[in-house]
Amino acid sequence: MPGVFVGVDVSKATLDVAVLPTGESWSVPNEDGAVAGLVAELQERHPELIVLEATGGLETRAVVAFGQAGLPVVVVNPRQVRDFARATGELAKTDRIDAGVLALFGERIRPEARPLPDAAARELDALMARRRQILEMLTAEKNRLEMAAKPVHKGIRDHIRWLERQLGGVEKELDARIEATPLWRTKENLLRSAPGVGPVLSRMLIAELPELGRLNRREIAKLVGVAPLARDSGKLRGRRMVWGGRASIRAALYMGAMSASRCNPAIRAFYLHLVAQGKPKKVALTACMRKLLTTLNAMVRSDTAWQPAAQHSC
């Protein structure tokens, strides 16, 4: 008997559902009561996999409800699904069509369903996301201040000061939550034992990369988006590129690798070796990102703090 695969296209107001192989489709409100009813209906069908796209948090209610009910659910990258849809010849885009594409994606690609973060981890992730949002607004306002006419300077400066207070409040809340959770506190101390890893990177890894320490070095590098991918075509040979993955972690890892290339003996030696071989500095730094990530992955997996003389098995 063929497995049952469910695609759920999420919008602010509705959840559009498609089921394979039956071809059924329907829509329910994206509200607690309707989601609970959808969970009960899907439990009766015993799906092999439920697939949703990441939609900036709109999917959270449904994903949490599915996970708590023990249903196998996975959240996938929208770009992967869009590319898959084009490959199948499906160029039209409606909520109903998208739900069907998600179900087909689940059936053909079989993305791996991983354990969902608990409520505390989701709240930590939300605080990290809010921190990024405030920093983006601060950068935008400071740029506006440089270009703005004099009459609006005071208002922009007032807003900058307000945003700085908000940022301070979020960072204090992050400190409190990490300190109050022994597992997180231990993990942060472990990660920060590596030179170049500061509080932003360590908390980003705790909040947004729960797979750290559970995957091998190739899997974790690919998940984050720092694994070199072949781009050989025609006469073009040998070039490798990184793309995809979790952009917010990659951004924090970039800053960590920059710091580590100066103060972490192992990463610095690796960086200088690549540059001496003629690698462009940006390529060398990307390789350092990957090395730092896989080293941290090995440290978490073995529950071992940074040891300068040790060669971590990544």
Domain assignments of the chain as residue spans, ordered by start:
5-109, 119-180, 199-302
Average pLDDT over residues 140-151: 95
Q: How far apart are CA 93 and CA 9, in angstroms?
A: 11
For 172, phi and psi rounded to 5 degrees? -65, -40
What's the mean pLDDT in 12-20?
A: 96
Of 207, 201, 187, 292, give the one whose Cα is nearest residue 252.
201
Ranges 29-33, 76-80, 161-165: which has the least confidence: 76-80
Q: What is the mean pLDDT of the chain?
A: 90
Residue 8 near residue 16 (C-beta atoms within 8 A): yes
Task: Tell me what percent of the residues of the chain surpass a pLDDT of 70.
Answer: 93
**pTM value surpassing 0.85:** no
The pLDDT value recorded for residue 312 is: 46
The per-residue pLDDT for 118 is: 80
Crossing angle for the helix pair 199-208 and 182-192, to the nearest 10 degrees = 130
* pLDDT score recorded for residue 237: 55
Say if residues 36 and 65 touch (Cβ distance below 8 Å). yes
- Other residues' Cβ atoms within 10 Å of the Cβ of residue 38: 23
Displacement of CA 275 from its chain's centroid (Å): 30
Averaged pLDDT, 39-56: 94
Main-chain dihedrals φ then ψ at residue 245, nearest 5 degrees = 80, -160
Give the fold, CATH level 3, of 5-109.
Nucleotidyltransferase; domain 5 (3.30.420)
3-state helix/strand/coil string of 218-253: HHHHHHHCCCCEECCECCECCCEECCCCCHHHHHHH
Neighbours of 160 (CB within 10 A): 16
Q: Which whole number is the average pLDDT over 82-107? A: 93
Distance CA 122, CA 282 (A): 33
- Determine the pLDDT at residue 44: 95
Q: What is the mean pLDDT of residues 218-231?
A: 82
Question: Residue 235: its pLDDT value, please?
Answer: 55
Q: Do 124 and 207 contact (CB within 8 A), yes or no?
A: yes
Residue 66 pLDDT > 50, yes or no? Answer: yes
How far, in Å, are 11, 56, 87 from residue 103 at the CA level? 16, 20, 15
Q: What is the mean pLDDT of residues 163-180?
A: 95
Is 124 buried (19+), middle (13-18) or exposed (0-12) by CB count in 10 A?
buried
> What does the pLDDT read at residue 119?
84
State whether the Cα torsion 310-194-210-217 is positive or negative: negative
Q: Dump pLDDT digits (tens) for 231-286.
A: 555 555 555 555 567 888 999 999 999 999 999 999 999 999 999 999 999 999 99
DSSP string, 165-223: HHHHHHHHHHHHHHHH-HHHHHHHHHHHTSTT--HHHHHHHHHH-TTTTTS-HHHHHHH
